[in-house]
Amino acid sequence: MMRHLLLRLRLAAAGALSLAMVAASAASLPVVLAASGSLYVNSAAANCSDAGNGSSTQPYCSIVKGAQVATAGTTVFVTGGAYTGSAINPSSGLAGSPITFAASPGVTVSGGTSAFAISGRSYIVIDGFTITSTSDYAISVSSSSNITISNNSISGVGHRINGQTAGGVRLTGTTSSLITHNRSDNNADHGFMISSGSTNNMVSFNEASLNAEGWQRNANGIVHDNEDSGLQFYPGANNGLAINNISYNNGDHGIDDLNVTGGRLIGNTIYHNCTSGINVEGTSGSYTIMNNISVDNAVYPAYNGIACGRRTGNIGIYDSAPASTTVDYNLVNLTTSGNMYIWNNNSYSSPTALFNATGQEQHGILADPKWVSTTTPDFHLLEGSKAIDSANSGASGESSVDANNNPRVDDPSTARLRRPRRLRVADGRHRGHAGSIRSVRPHRNRRHSHHGRALMERLD
């Protein structure tokens, strides 16, 4: 059997998007280092000195010193093991000449308030750090722009006590920035938080799990088993883009959208969340929800003692949202009784029923997505899945490449029954429908694993 996975995760968020995001990605992101200038930090070097010149032969002892000296175009190479969090706020770089902090494997920043607390800056790259046990968000960015946070691993941040919670990465009032290929888990608040006027940001290929405040239900995250929703767009997060995320077994929604406009939910995989899988409500509007896979949401009574009898449906469009929202090319399924769709507070049992009543979901599919396993879990698609070659590559925000940055191709073994031959991205399924985007590769042996999950391109 051929296994297809669509694990492309991309999230461009404005305003208040709080998420512990996720989906396993392929390899770590190749970071483009600064064009000129290098400084070296190595606390383990016997001759390190913050009074030195920061050369490879006489490195600085502290990252703080490297940050104080670095100017646009400088890369600060950090080696040497253990450092204490120092809330670093370096100078700004320039377009094409960022200031880059690049950690070698094994570099750990522990304790202190934060590892990096960037404020009023631009064109900075933070790459490759392991950060643990800070009292505030491990990486906090405010009133800044063009910040890249990549390939970092964050855990054990904050305390699960009222007034002492903190999470992985937080953007506040920050624009045009990228959070990609990071892991954030076992923190006392959100894995990733984008809020308060943060617009035109992208969050992609990150993984977050087991984030919880502990004293109340509030922390959230994609991929799985977070206390609240997997991904949240809240007031201020207008014009956000959530692509190719996998969100399952969370204590509220898979993706939650409240009082936000202009959002696009494309190619996500949503499974077995406490309440409605994809939820758009309040004053939200002008949403596009395409190419997703949403299965068995809002069908179990409680999550870790939290009642699930709230919003229902694999896809739920509530309140004023239906007037300007478009839903199409999604694959949905229930293995037990429940609501397939909610539209304008009315329930519908199938894509056909929804289309006949509202004109929405004309190309929707009601079918088992044929994942490899929901218990392991392994959301690859098996050969024969109706999610393969069934999505719309023309959906706004859809990508032409998969998690491995490979171009999407047609699956020659899948007959095209619904549309003329064209390169399309399957709906939210790992290899065809949204939810977890799928793209089919021409060679069946082209698969590799990341965090225990094989990734393959997916295409309709």
pLDDT the model gives residue 47: 95
pLDDT digits (tens, 9 = 90+) for 136-187: 788 989 999 999 999 998 877 765 656 666 677 888 888 889 888 888 776 6
Indicate yes or no: pTM above 0.75. no
d(CA 299, CA 411): 33
Distances (CA, A) of 230 to 131, 273, 403: 22, 9, 19
112 located within any domain: no
**How many CB atoms are located within 10 Å of the residue 66 CB?**
25
Residues facing 328 on adjacent strands? 290
Confidence of residue 302 (pLDDT cuts 50, 70, 90): confident
Q: Of 37-46, 193-202, 327-336, 405-414, which gets the smallest average pLDDT?
A: 405-414
**Three-state SS at 163:** coil
pLDDT the model gives residue 163: 65
Residues facing 407 on adjacent strands? 401
pLDDT digits (tens, 9 = 90+) for 221-233: 344 455 566 677 7
100 located within any domain: no
Q: What would the mean pLDDT of 212-221 be, rounded to a whole number? A: 38
d(CA 5, CA 380): 4
174 located within any domain: no
**Structural domain that includes position 431:** 1-7+243-460
Split into its structural domains, the chain has a count of 1
192 located within any domain: no
pLDDT the model gives residue 423: 31
156 located within any domain: no
Residues facing 40 on adjacent strands? 77
266 located within any domain: yes
Q: What would the mean pLDDT of 186-207 be, rounded to a whole number? A: 72
Output the 3-class SS for 202-255.
Answer: EEECCEEECCCCCCCCCCCCCEECCCCCCEEEECCCCCCEEECCEEECCCCCCE
* Mean pLDDT of all residues belonging to the chain: 76
pLDDT the model gives residue 36: 53
pLDDT the model gives residue 306: 72
Q: Of 168-172, 236-240, 428-432, 454-458, which gets the smallest average pLDDT?
A: 454-458
pLDDT digits (tens, 9 = 90+) for 82-113: 999 899 999 999 999 999 999 999 999 988 88
Confidence of residue 236 (pLDDT cuts 50, 70, 90): confident
143 located within any domain: no
Give Rg (Cα) of the chain: 22
446 located within any domain: yes
